[in-house]
Amino acid sequence: MKLSSTLRGSIPRQAAVLVLASSLGLPLWAQQPQASSDSSQQAPAAASASDQQLAAPIVPPGKEGFWGRVNPWARKKWVKKQTDPINDRLTELDQVNAKNSQDIKDVDARSQAGIRQAQSSADAANQAATAAGQQAQTASNTAQQASNHVGQINSTVNGLDQYKPVTDVTITFKPGTTALTADSKDKLDQLAANLTGHQGYLVEIDAQAPGAGSVGIQSSQHLADAVKRYLVTDHQIPVFRMHALALGNVQVASNSDPDSKPEHVKTRTVHVQVMENSLAAQGSSSPREGASSSGAVPQ
């Protein structure tokens, strides 16, 4: 009876111990699968961290209290302790992003400044090239004008000594006198009237008179002087434009037959011929308007 009572007293005690042990072992058993699942989750996280250089190292959260990481009654201090590393990393990333943004702005500003400077240099070079082109065109035009002017001067110089006859008259004197007749004066008046206001002409005067040797030359010289004197005093023909020659009794050979021999003249005559330089006479009407009193056609 004593044994049975002892057994009856020990059984409730053993049952109480078992219940207490089961209550203590149940949370440990519940945490083991979660720890294994946490370790399985940390493995790919560690692999991804090795792939990303900028990723922060994973710091396992500390345990707190009886429940460890699974703490349904977590306090603010515990939450702050868990989130502080993340906040620090986010702050660092913000600083890196701000620095990168500022670097990008600096590079963009330098690029824009370089582009503006290059554009300004290009505009200046374009303006210089345009000015140089205009100067070259002006120089080319000036050179062309100078070349044309030189060509005109050369033509003028080459033609200054080129004269051609335009008018001629023959004056006849009576024997033994140097006085001009009325008909002779009319011829000289008409010739002088055609020369008024003209430039670029010469008056050739050649006189013939009968008489051998110096007698004929002196006589013909007096006749030529009479014609020159009349043109100078009555018509103001410049002396430098008149060229006279006393031929005496020798008559000039005919231009149509250069081989013909000159013959001795028997009359007292003076031949007056106007020679014109077309280049020197530019800007004035030609003196060839006067008709040839000898019947020759001006050429």
- Residue-wise pLDDT for 132-165, tens only, equals 999 999 999 999 888 888 887 777 666 666 778 8
Among 72-76, 77-81, 171-175, 258-262, top mean pLDDT goes to 171-175
What is the spatial distance between Cα 96 and Cα 42, in angstroms, rounded to a whole number? 27
Residue listed under structure tokens 């008489």: 211
Q: Give the per-residue pLDDT at 6.
A: 44
Residue 289 pLDDT exceeds 70 = no
Q: Give the per-residue pLDDT at 16.
A: 60
Q: What is the CATH number of domain 163-254+262-289?
A: 3.30.1330.60
What is the spatial distance between Cα 271 and Cα 245, in angstroms, rounded to a whole number? 10
Q: What is the mean pLDDT of residues 82-91?
A: 87
43-47, 110-114, 251-255: least confident range: 43-47
Q: Residue 33: how many CA atoms within 13 Å on its side-chain side? A: 4
Q: Give the per-residue pLDDT at 292.
A: 45
62-76, 160-174, 217-231: least confident range: 62-76
What is the spatial distance between Cα 60 and Cα 80, in angstroms, rounded to a whole number? 14
33: confidence class by pLDDT, cuts 50, 70, 90: very low
Residue listed under structure tokens 């900028």: 54
Q: Give the per-residue pLDDT at 223.
A: 93
Residue 24 pLDDT exceeds 60 = no
Beta-strand (E) ranges in the chain? Answer: 164-173, 201-208, 242-248, 268-276
- Domain positions in the chain: 71-159, 163-254+262-289
Q: Give the per-residue pLDDT at 125.
A: 92
* pLDDT, tens only, 50-66: 445 444 455 555 555 55
Mean pLDDT of the chain: 75
Residue 44 pLDDT exceeds 70 = no
Residue 299 pLDDT exceeds 90 = no
Q: Give the per-residue pLDDT at 272.
A: 94
CA triple 185-191-220, angle to 5 deg: 60
Q: What is the mean pLDDT of residues 184-195?
A: 91
Token digits of residue 8: 């009856």
Residue type, 59: V
218: confidence class by pLDDT, cuts 50, 70, 90: very high
Q: What is the mean pLDDT of residues 4-33?
A: 53
Can you tell me whether residue 75 is helix, strand or coil? coil
